[in-house]
Amino acid sequence: MIAFVSRTGNVRNIVGKLVAIPTMEITDSSIEINKPYFLFTYTDNLGDIPKIVKDFLNHSEVNRENLKGVIASGNTNFGRYYCGSAIEISQWLKVPIIRTIDLRGNQDDIDTIVSSYKTMIIEGETD
């Protein structure tokens, strides 16, 4: 599964192209995800994790333990702050950054997410 948040619609647009992967929009930070998942977020302000994402990850140890990777959308015009949320989450929870995506991304971004999902989530469940 890919759990996601979207503010401007860029993340939602990309997630809509991931037709073979189950997705869930995080609209309530008190939910728990009881299986391995990727987190797909935007970056707030100057490289910050959005509040709903922080609250979601802090709400439950289960949410932190089942997180297997992070994906972020951002705008390269923000320079060193580009996709800072992914960097912060990766360092905080010791998970890999699957992909950083400029705005609405491209087919290579989609292919990388799908490939990583198959390798890390689907094949990881059968190990």
Beta bridge partners of 119: none
Residue 41: partners with Cβ closer than 8 Å, 6 or more residues away: 4, 5, 11, 49, 50, 53, 70, 71, 72, 73, 85, 86, 89
Per-residue pLDDT at 46: 87
- Report the mean per-residue pLDDT for the chain: 94
Backbone phi, then psi, for 8, in 5-degree steps? -100, -10
Residue 104 pLDDT > 70: yes
Q: Are 53 and 37 in contact (CB under 8 A)?
A: no
pTM equals 0.94
Per-residue pLDDT at 126: 57
**Across residues 73-98, what is the average pLDDT?**
94
